[in-house]
Chains A and B, each alone.
Chain A
Amino acid sequence: MAVILIVEDDALICEMAGMLIHDFGHHIVLASDVGEGLAILRSSQRFDALFTDIYLKKAIFGGCDLARQARLIWPELRILYTTGNAITDSLKAVFVGGSHFLRKPYTSAQLQSSIESLLAT
């Protein structure tokens, strides 16, 4: 069982993603923006992975910013980005090393497969 932080600005999607990942057998913690996500990551709890939306409320690339800062706190943290928007080369360039990406809308099977391959790294 892994501990996964899910950061998603849409509360319903966050809950549903949390429910699915919980069903896959993992422990989940939910956050809705960059500040909340960082506060949780700075707590003493250890996390195996961060699953974050790229567009977070008013922060257009909030997920990228969060992932970059999260790696400073947890250098071994696995990162899985998601967004429904187009992924440009300039956006890919700011992804942290070794991160994964899952396009929205994703099915439960796609989410499970992405989480499994993320945790296998």
Chain B
Amino acid sequence: MTDLPASDIVETVPSALIVLDRNLCIRSANRAFYQTFRTSRGETEGTLIYDLGNRQWDIPALRTLLESVIPHRASVEGFEVEHDFPTIGQRTMLVNARKIFRPGDHAGFILLAIEDVSEERVARKESRRNSLLVQSIVDTIRDPLVVLEDDMTVVTASRAFLTMFGITEAEASGRRVAELGQHQWDVPALRKLMEKVLPENKPFENFEIEEEFPGLGRRVFNLNARKISQPGNNAHRMLLVFEDITDRKQRERDAVSLSNEVSHRIKNNLQLIVGLIAYEAKWTAEPCVQGYRAMQSRIGAIAQLYDLISQSSHGHVVAVDDYLREIAKTITVSLLGDTSDIKIEVKAEPLEIDADRAVPFGLLVNELATNAIKHAFPNGTGTVILSVAPVDGAFELSVADNGVGTSPEISAKKSERRGSDYVAIFVRQLGGSVVPSPAGGTGTTVTIRLPLLLVARDSAPHQAA
């Protein structure tokens, strides 16, 4: 480096450099100076700096630097000069000055390095303005939020955050989220999620934390985080929002509690009815006992259907495919058991049924499937298929078995006729009709056409009931 000629170095540095003698006349300047200030060597060298370019350098701040500061100090750095130059307009210049001496020359020279920082200053002002704007927006958001650096330290916290958690901006700023308060946010699972937000651009939502907070009591917060970037800026930060869901959570818990209480009472009442029927059956002649038992089963089926509806429902509709699978599972458990060779299969398209219609629909399926299991497989082996599919603008429910088929003897039995009566009642209630089975084939298939009843899930309704 020391072998390089000083003039070459001076010509290649990007800052504008000028050398002044003790009378403040310009002795020399580099290429960057001529380019920045649109002047030439001839116009510059030998000229008093204040006279340069129509006296555009006759700036009070520069005079202060050259005449009052430099004489008393060896060097000055970062002296900021803001001026409207006739040739280049409004500019902010950062001036570094240093006295230099040659051997034997005690008067010395002044080296001025002038850097045009106008764009940087404009950007800084813009950034400050944006920052104030963002902060004022942030402060109007009711949910507490913080902006974090990539090391998880707080850059800024909203007023709502500071107020809610009773800390000052100074206490929050520069600290890690995990260190705030009584370390309530120091949760390994949360840390793991937060660590992925910036490097993997992986936002997260609804991370729930329930904790005791000083002055707040027990609270439930939903945490959401995402990466935020400023256009033209490579630095990324994380926005972490704390949604206080304590009240909502309490309402949900109250609703669940109420629902459990209501369910408990309903089921106990149904249990009482079933118990009374069982008690009556004890003193009833054998031919009637079968009827009492069937009644007990149907009451049990209604109770189970209500449970299945609550499990399969989304708002006011019930997913038919899930519902049929649950019915199949329930019948398997109650009538067949794990070791049975009779299986129930479900083939259903993603359809939905109004919750009000789900009970008669479920009772219909239950009745038909129970009949199939009771009569189709005298050797204890076979399959019952429950299916629902759209057919010609309507929907068809079919319960098919590959068993021995329906014999006239069974059809003529009084209890079976009653079962058929129930099927007819449910079909009527659903506004459907029984589709005659084609002749031939094995087993029994009962098909019910259910117009205007089911809708395809996630699509426009086929037709409302």
The interface residues of chain A lying within 8 Å CB-to-CB of B435 are none
A23 and B282 CA atoms in complex are apart in Å by 10
Cβ-defined contact, A86 with B311, below 8 A: yes
Interface residues as binary, B257-282 with A (CB distance below 8 Å gives 1, 0 otherwise) = 10010011011101111111011011
Give the distance to chain A from B26, nearest Cβ to Cβ, in Å. 84
User: Which of B266, B278, B297 is most buried by chain A, counting CB atoms within 10 A of its CB?
Assistant: B278
Name B's interface SS: helix
Q: Which residues from 58 to 88 on chain B have a C-beta closer than 8 Å to any C-beta of chain A?
A: none
A-B contact count (CB 8 A): 73
Known A-B contacts A105-B299, A109-B293; the reply to A84 vs B270 at CB < 8 A is yes
- Contact (Cβ within 8 A) A84 B271: yes
A12 at the interface (CB under 8 A from B): yes
A92: which B residues are within 8 A, CB to CB? none
Known A16-B279, A106-B274, A107-B293: A55·B264 in contact at CB below 8 Å: yes
Given the known A-B contacts A104-B303, A107-B297, are A10 and B272 also in contact in the complex, defined by CB atoms under 8 Å? yes
Q: How many residues of A contact B (CB 8 A)?
A: 22
CB of A71 within 8 A of chain B?
no
**Would you call A13 and B271 a contact (CB within 8 A)?**
yes
Q: How many Å lie between the Cα of A110 and that of B293 in the bound state?
A: 11
Q: Are A83 and B299 also in contact (CB < 8 A) when A17-B275, A108-B278, A110-B334 are? A: no
What 4 additional pairs, Cβ within 8 angstroms, besides A16-B279, A110-B300? Answer: A84-B264, A103-B304, A107-B278, A109-B293
Q: Which residues of A contact B (CB under 8 A)?
A: 10, 12-13, 16-17, 19-20, 23, 55, 60, 83-86, 103-110
19 A-B contacts (beta carbon < 8 Å):
A10-B271, A10-B272, A13-B271, A13-B272, A16-B275, A16-B276, A17-B275, A20-B275, A23-B282, A55-B264, A60-B257, A83-B264, A84-B266, A86-B310, A104-B270, A105-B299, A107-B293, A107-B296, A110-B300
The residues of B with any CB-CB pair to A shorter than 8 Å are: 257, 260, 263-264, 266-268, 270-276, 278-279, 281-282, 293, 296-297, 299-300, 303-304, 307, 310-311, 334
| Complex A-B, nearest 5 residue pairs according to Cβ-Cβ distance, in ascending order | A84-B267, A16-B275, A108-B278, A105-B271, A107-B296
